[in-house]
């Protein structure tokens, strides 16, 4: 394997991770869990009592950026039947383990849920808006017995703990990713292009990317659970239901929409199964993968081919997301469904030129879809993104592409992607602020 291929695989592993629950409240739980672990390590009374979390008098205060608040207010927390950052923070305090990363609540059970609900009811958890310009920022502080206080700060990535404190003294300050010995690198710094992504997906050794099939295993299980249960708005289940056959039909588009939306239904309503995330978003991970997986199921695609299509889909989404940042005013399903459109082109034997056409068709179609927070309604946006992805891929395979004379589309694919990034990260900033104002004032 070449050094460059190894670097790209490292990027995939950095951005494609299992996540239990919506990543914004889970990141809050992770920061709280880390703060509690510092208390446990530094306070003698806690280190000797393995059950101290259940009996100690402690309070939790979490300061978050506006985008964390927006995406954490209305989303279901796994296994609790509750929504929001308060219960997520409480769970991080009573059962979180930072070593699990975005699966910080892996050890969740009914006794922990009951204890966390007590903390919320007793108003021992406080959530406040941080004074920060960062899109992704969390500072969790835990005070025990009014004697000691520990804090953990997450910035830029959902599992990127950059600073820890004990009694106002800095224990560690770093810009490294959790569990990574290398310096933190922004996605744009990898210098990817769509051409290189296509070449990589085609030429990399299968054994070096076979790990990507875990995306199928996790997200397909989540989709199947969504189709079985009554989660959220039941978008996927409704599309899949035979009584609506006269409306949705029995074609591939309705199948892919149902499978993808069902996974989002389950995840956003608090299902206890993990999703394979992309760029810090479980919904983005679902939308990047499930249309491609659905096509592979329908057409009997072998694992080797599917793995290459999933790598292409994941990397295109990661590449585009690099121009937007982890959190933005632009709905993540726009980026994710653009990735899945490329994966579908690959499975149908399309060329690099067809991949570029699919991206342009997507950007010319659903750019501007706003993110108004993580919630069960996201499944409807996911379904819309899947429909657009399939339409864009089919048109691209037929040689149809939105002209560079239209809107924000340019002849050069990388310029087109940068245009999308500018709109989402800069142009829609006032819309993002307005959405947050509306949400917090309801």
pLDDT in tens, 184-206: 578 888 999 999 999 999 999 99
Q: Do strands 137-144 and 275-276 pair parallel, antiparallel, or not at all (unpaired)? A: unpaired
Q: With 90 as the cut, is the pLDDT of residue 437 above it?
A: no
Q: With 70 as the cut, is the pLDDT of residue 181 above it?
A: no
Question: Residues for the chain: how many in total?
Answer: 442
Q: Which pair of tokens denotes residue 138?
A: 């969390």
Per residue in 41-80, pLDDT tens? 887 666 656 666 666 678 999 999 998 998 888 888 988 8
Q: Give CA–CA dist 25/282, Å, rounded.
A: 12
Q: Do strands 82-83 and 76-77 pair parallel, antiparallel, or not at all (unpaired)? A: antiparallel
Contact, 162 vs 175, CB < 8 A?
yes
- The CA-CA-CA angle for residues 307, 312, 316, to 5°, reads 150
Contact, 97 vs 104, CB < 8 A?
yes
Q: Give CA–CA dist 140/43, Å, rounded.
A: 18
Contact, 393 vs 348, CB < 8 A?
yes
- Average pLDDT of the chain is 91
With a pLDDT cut of 70, the percent of the chain lying above it is 95
Q: Which pair of tokens denotes residue 408?
A: 């924000």
Q: Give CA–CA dist 76/268, Å, rounded.
A: 5
Q: Which pair of tokens denotes residue 70?
A: 């927006």
Q: Which of 437, 364, 24, 281 is nearest to 429 (CA)?
A: 437
Q: How does residue 9 score in pLDDT terms, banded at 50, 70 and 90?
A: very high
Q: How does residue 283 score in pLDDT terms, banded at 50, 70 and 90?
A: very high
Q: With 60 as the cut, is the pLDDT of residue 176 above it?
A: no
Helix %, strand %, coil % of the chain (to 5): 60, 10, 30
Per residue in 224-246, pLDDT tens? 999 999 999 999 999 999 888 88
Q: Give CA–CA dist 339/333, Å, rounded.
A: 9
Contact, 252 vs 298, CB < 8 A?
yes
Strands ordered across the beta sheet of 125-129: 125-129, 58-64, 137-144, 148-155, 161-166, 169-173
Q: Give CA–CA dist 17/103, Å, rounded.
A: 9
Q: How does residue 178 score in pLDDT terms, banded at 50, 70 and 90?
A: very low
Largest CA distance in the chain: 69
Burial 405-426 (b: 16+ CB within 10 A, else e): eeebbbeebeebbbbbbebbbe
Q: How does residue 329 score in pLDDT terms, banded at 50, 70 and 90?
A: confident
Q: Which of 153, 150, 116, 152 is nearest to 47 (CA)?
A: 150
Q: Assign residue 7 a region: left if phi > 0, alpha if psi is -120 to 50, beta otherwise?
A: alpha
Q: Do strands 58-64 and 125-129 pair parallel, antiparallel, or not at all (unpaired)? A: parallel
Q: Give CA–CA dist 209/88, Å, rounded.
A: 33
Q: Give CA–CA dist 304/383, Å, rounded.
A: 27
Q: Which pair of tokens denotes residue 90?
A: 């409480």
């Amino acid at each position: 394997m070449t050094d460059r291929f190894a670097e790209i695989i490292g990027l995939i592993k950095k951005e494609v991770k299992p996540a239990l629950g919506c990543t914004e409240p889970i990141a809050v739980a992770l920061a709280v869990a880390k703060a509690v672990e510092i208390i446990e390590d530094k306070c003698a009374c806690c280190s000797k009592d393995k059950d101290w979390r259940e009996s100690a008098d402690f309070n939790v205060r979490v300061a978050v950026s506006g985008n964390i608040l927006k995406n954490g207010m209305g989303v279901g927390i796994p296994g609790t039947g509750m929504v929001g950052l308060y219960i997520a923070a409480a769970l991080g305090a009573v059962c979180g383990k930072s070593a699990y990363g975005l699966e910080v609540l892996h050890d969740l059970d009914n006794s922990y849920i009951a204890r966390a609900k007590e903390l919320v009811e007793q108003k021992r958890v406080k959530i406040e808006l941080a004074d920060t310009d960062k899109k992704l920022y969390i500072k969790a502080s835990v005070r025990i017995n009014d004697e000691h206080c520990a804090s953990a700060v997450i910035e830029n990535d959902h599992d990127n703990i950059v600073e820890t404190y004990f009694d106002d003294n800095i224990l560690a300050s770093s810009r490294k990713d959790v569990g990574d010995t290398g310096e933190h690198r922004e996605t744009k710094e990898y210098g990817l292009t769509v051409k290189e992504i296509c070449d990589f997906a085609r030429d990399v050794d299968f054994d070096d990317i076979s790990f990507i099939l875990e995306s199928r295993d996790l997200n397909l299980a989540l989709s199947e659970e969504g189709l079985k249960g009554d989660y959220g708005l039941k978008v996927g289940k409704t599309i899949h239901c035979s009584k609506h056959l006269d409306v949705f039909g029995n074609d591939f588009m309705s199948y892919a929409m149902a499978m993808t939306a069902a996974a989002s239904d389950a995840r956003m309503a608090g299902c206890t199964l993990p999703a394979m995330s992309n760029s810090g978003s479980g919904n983005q991970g679902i939308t990047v993968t499930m249309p491609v997986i659905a096509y592979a199921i329908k057409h009997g695609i072998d694992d080797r081919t599917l793995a290459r299509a999933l790598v292409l889909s994941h990397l295109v989404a990661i590449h585009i997301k690099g121009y937007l940042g982890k959190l933005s005013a632009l709905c993540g399903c726009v980026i994710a469904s653009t990735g899945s459109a490329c994966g579908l082109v690959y499975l149908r034997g399309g060329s690099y030129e067809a991949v570029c056409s699919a991206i342009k068709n997507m950007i010319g179609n659903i750019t501007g879809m706003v993110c108004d927070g993580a919630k069960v309604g996201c499944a409807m946006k996911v379904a819309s993104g899947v429909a657009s992805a399939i339409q864009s891929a089919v048109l691209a395979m037929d040689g149809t592409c939105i002209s560079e004379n239209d809107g924000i589309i340019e002849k050069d694919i990388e310029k087109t992607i940068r245009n999308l990034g500018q709109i989402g990260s800069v142009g829609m900033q006032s819309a993002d602020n307005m959405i947050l104002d509306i949400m917090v004032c309801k």
